[in-house]
Amino acid sequence: MKDIKILLVDDEVDFTASLSRVLTRRGFVVEISSDGLTGLARIIQGDFDVVVLDVKMPGMNGIQVLTEIRRLSLPTRVILLTGHFSLPDEENTLKNGAFAYLLKPYPVLKLVEIIKKAAAREISA
Q: Given this model, what pLDDT does residue 83 score? A: 86
pLDDT over 50 (residue 125):
no
Confidence bin at 12 (pLDDT 50/70/90):
very high
Q: How many CB atoms lie within 10 A of CB 38?
A: 14
- Is residue 16 within 8 A of residue 32, CB to CB? The reply is yes
* 1 has a pLDDT exceeding 80: no
Alpha helices in the chain (DSSP H): 13-25, 36-45, 62-71, 87-95, 108-119
In the predicted structure, residue 89 carries a pLDDT above the cut 80:
no
Instruction: Give the global pTM.
Output: 0.90
Residue 67 CB burial class (10 angstroms; 0-12, 13-18, ≥19) = middle
State the pLDDT at residue 68: 95
* Reported confidence tier of residue 122, pLDDT bands at 50, 70, 90: low
Where do the domains of the chain lie, and which CATH numbers do they carry? 5-119 (3.40.50.2300)
Element (H, E) at 81: strand 77-82
Does residue 124 carry a pLDDT above 70? no
Strand order in the sheet with 100-103: 29-33, 5-9, 50-54, 77-82, 100-103
